[in-house]
Structures are given as C-alpha cells and as structure tokens.
Amino acid sequence: MDKTRTIQRPATVRDFAEHKRKGEKIVVMTAYDALFGRLVDESGVDAILVGDSVGTAVMGYPSTLPVTLDHMIYHASAVRRGVERALVIIDMPFLSYQASVESAVLNCGRAIQETGVAAVKVEGGSPYMLDTVNALVRTGIPVMAHIGFTPQSVNTIGGPRVQGREEEGAERLIGEAKGLEEAGAFSIVLELVPARVSARITAAVGVPTIGIGAGPECDGQVLVLPDVLGLNDTFEPKFLKRYAEMARDVRSALGDWARDVRSGAYPDAEHSF
C-alpha cells in the first residue's frame, strides 16, 4: 500500500471533511471495472469515482448522454468488488435523477443498494437540484455535487466550455456551491472553472471542492483514468497531464506478440506443457 495515503482503513465520506480541515489535498480517480478498481485503490487514492465518463472513455459513445442506470450499476458493482480502502462513488447518469425528486431518491437508492458503493454524484446547482440533494441526504444517501461544466447538459451549454469566466457567472457558481453545501452535499466537483473562481468557491464553502480543469486551489483533484494513463491518447485538453503512455505500450506489446505468433517464436518450449 502507498504510505502517502493518509488513512489506511476503509474511507468514509466523513474523511473528506477531515482532509479539508487538515489542509490535506483529496485525490480522486475514476475507474470502471474491478481490475483497475483494485490497481487504483492500491495506488493510495482517497476516492474512486465510477464516472459516467465510462460512456466516452470506454463504451465508445460521443457523450455521456447514452449511459443508463443499468450500465452504471454494472460498472460500479465491478469497481466495488475490486476496492478495499478507497471511498467508491457512483455517478448518476442522465435522466436518472432529473425528472422528479422521488425518482432521484428511488434511482440513487437502487444504485447504492445494488452496487454496495457509499455515495452518489449528481450534476447541477439549480434550486431544483438543491431540493433533490436535500432529499437524497435526508434519505441517508451521501451526495457529491458537480457544477461548472456539467457534461450531461452539453447540448444546452454547447460544448465543453469553461464556466464562470465573467463576474456574473462566477457569482452564480459561488451561489450554487453555497446552496449545495446547505442542501447537504459532502463535496463539490468543479469542472472547467477558472482557477481564480475555484479559489473563491473553495474559500466560500466548508465542504471540499474537487477540481477537474479548475486550477490548483481546489481541495482535491479528479481526472479520468484512461486519460491520465495515456490509454486515450487522442484526448488532449489543456488541463490534462499524462502520467503514462499506455496506448503506445499496448500497441507495441501486442505488435510484438503478434509477430512472435506469426513467426512461431511463441509459444516456445518454456511456455508449453
């Protein structure tokens, strides 16, 4: 186990508040299956988000909109089976929580019940979403909120655009974050938000902010696993830093193996019975 992880027992949502209180950065990574769930957990991250980014990163969809609750339950159950210590959070997909507060409670409850994960993430900070978050928390479902660029609203936003560049937009985001904290969210993802605005939001709320493309002042950071590992090597947004070049390594390893099979070099005596 990575000794840089500050908590060695299984994490809970309460640890997020404790990390913020102590000024410790919170490390969140996505995962979509048991194999990578285990590896990400063993790397020592604090939390694993089973993001609906599975739609674009793994399933080959052009956006997260086609991802269903059944898809998310399948992937989150797999991740949960691979993880021992990190907090696992399921991202609720498009249409699973927006239609009514009641459907949100039932769908989020089903997600928790069927996957065994500890918390849900939902997008948006409108007054309607504050009621939804409040109802979920009252039901006993911890909620990670998500504001700034919210990918499930890509068609109304018109693309992955930085949010809150102008003062009016920045004020709106600060108001949403305060409302979400009051509604009971245990943390707030800030996506594609200028660093100076993230700093203001982070100072304005008591719950941790987790940034993606939101600068260094957030209380923690989240990135999408295949992007960080360089598996998705055609995706190169400004905020992304790659820590491996796995697409190159996969192509090269499988190319070597194919060559060996074709030449008869594999399997040799050592790898035969």
Residue type at position 156:
T
Q: Which of 30, 96, 134, 232 binds ligand KIV (CB under 6 A)?
A: 30
Of 191, 236, 245, 270, the catalytic one is 191
Q: Which of 16, 45, 46, 51 binds ligand KIV (CB under 6 A)?
A: 51
- Return d(Cα 124, Cα 138) in angstroms, integer: 18
CA distances from 139 to 115, 128, 132, 135 (A): 17, 17, 11, 6
Q: Compare residues 48 and 174 and give the one whose CB is closer to ligand KIV.
A: 48
Region near ligand KIV per CB under 6 A, out of 13-21, 49-57, 132-140, 159-167: 49-57
191 is catalytic: yes
Q: Which of 29, 119, 189, 190 binds ligand KIV (CB under 6 A)?
A: 189
Burial of 264 (0-12, 13-18, 19+ CB in 10 A): exposed
- Return d(Cα 250, Cα 113) in angstroms, integer: 36
Number of residues engaging ligand KIV in binding (CB under 6 A):
12
According to the binding rule CB under 6 A, does residue 129 interact with ligand KIV? no
Give residue 171's region: left, alpha or beta (phi > 0; psi -120 to 50): alpha
According to the binding rule CB under 6 A, does residue 52 interact with ligand KIV? yes
Residues in touch with ligand KIV (CB under 6 A): 30, 49, 51-53, 91, 146, 189, 191, 212, 222, 224
Query: What are the residue numbers of the active site?
Result: 191
